[in-house]
């Protein structure tokens, strides 16, 4: 891209280029170009997000997550306050999206909005255990492969979608599954691609995992990474991904 000529485009023209961009890197590029216009550009981005999510109620995708992240962390007070007023709880409203545990889903959303990925990872495991009926009185806080079919499809898809939308479409179970399928369901190739192994050696939890947005695609969330592949295989074959 010719950055010099692109920076001279009108904000409205940049918005059109952004809307026509498919890949997260392209979207991030155009959002950066629009933010050069300072508060005017950021107001245009806010209008775009409001139009997509509130007015037209389009199917959510990566662009919404990147727009929200950009505006939520804006250096402009008026922009930050506006996005929080329009999206009080974030991009997701759970009363119509999942079967139960609205408070838990909101807590996970709050963690992901703040990019507190390590705590979000820990809480995701807790939430999945709750969804299959394991509570605080249970002697285990992990899932067996036989538990996986008990996870409600709507909840699993929403948890996955939150991870994707608040990570520029980098993280989430469906992203890991996609990499796994692309590599002919080869587990060793998956570990290397998502860097759960480094130079052939399994990373030690938690210190050797990457808990930030710069982690490799599919690196998070962790899922029974120390307990073999049977449960993860069951997760990747959950009926949720067929709907």
| Sequence ranges of the domains in the chain | 3-86, 94-242
pLDDT tier at 97, thresholds 50, 70, 90: low
Distances (CA, A) of 218 to 161, 179, 212: 13, 8, 12
User: Can you say how many angstroms the Cα of residue 89 is from the centroid of all Cα atoms in its chain?
Assistant: 15
Mind listing the pLDDT tens digit for each residue in 169-215?
999 999 999 999 999 999 999 999 999 999 889 999 999 999 999 99
What pLDDT does residue 2 have?
58
**Share of the chain residues as helix, strand and coil, in percent rounded to the nearest 5:** 60, 0, 40
CA distance 110 to 114: 6
- Computed over every residue of the chain, the mean pLDDT equals 92
Residue 99 has pLDDT above 70, yes or no: no
Percent of the chain with pLDDT over 90: 83
pLDDT at residue 98, as a whole number: 57
Helix axes 24-35, 38-50, angle to 10 degrees: 130
pLDDT tier for residue 129 given thresholds of 50, 70 and 90: very high
Residues 101/151, Cβ–Cβ less than 8 Å: no
d(CA 33, CA 3): 8
Quote the tokens at residue 71: 């505006």
Q: pTM higher than 0.85, yes or no?
A: yes
Classified by CATH at the fold level, domain 94-242 comes out as: Arc Repressor Mutant, subunit A (1.10.10)
Q: Is 207 helix (H, G, I), strand (E, B) or coil?
A: coil
Per-residue model confidence (pLDDT) at position 96: 58
pLDDT at 4: 57
């Amino acid at each position: 891209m010719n950055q010099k000529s692109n920076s001279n485009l009108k904000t409205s023209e940049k918005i059109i280029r952004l809307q026509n961009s498919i890949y997260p890197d392209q979207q991030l590029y155009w959002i950066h170009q629009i933010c050069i216009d300072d508060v005017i550009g950021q107001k245009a981005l806010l209008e775009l997000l409001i139009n997509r999510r509130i007015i037209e109620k389009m199917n959510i995708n990566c662009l919404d997550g990147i727009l929200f992240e950009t505006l939520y962390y804006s250096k402009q007070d008026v922009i930050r306050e506006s996005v929080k007023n329009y999206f009080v709880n974030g991009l997701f409203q759970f009363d119509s999206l999942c079967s139960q545990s609205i408070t838990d889903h909101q807590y996970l959303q709050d963690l992901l909005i703040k990019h507190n990925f390590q705590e979000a990872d820990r809480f995701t495991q807790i939430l999945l255990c709750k969804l299959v009926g394991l509570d605080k009185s249970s002697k285990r806080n992990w899932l067996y492969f036989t538990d996986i079919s008990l996870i409600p499809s709507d909840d699993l898809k929403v948890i996955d979608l939150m991870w994707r939308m608040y990570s520029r479409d980098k993280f989430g179970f469906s992203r890991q599954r996609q990499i796994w399928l692309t590599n002919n369901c080869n587990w060793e190739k998956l570990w290397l691609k998502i860097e759960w192994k480094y130079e052939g050696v399994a990373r030690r939890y938690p210190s050797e995992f990457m808990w930030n947005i710069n982690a490799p695609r599919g690196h998070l969330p962790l899922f029974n990474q120390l307990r073999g592949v049977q449960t993860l295989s069951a997760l990747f074959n959950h009926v949720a991904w067929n709907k």
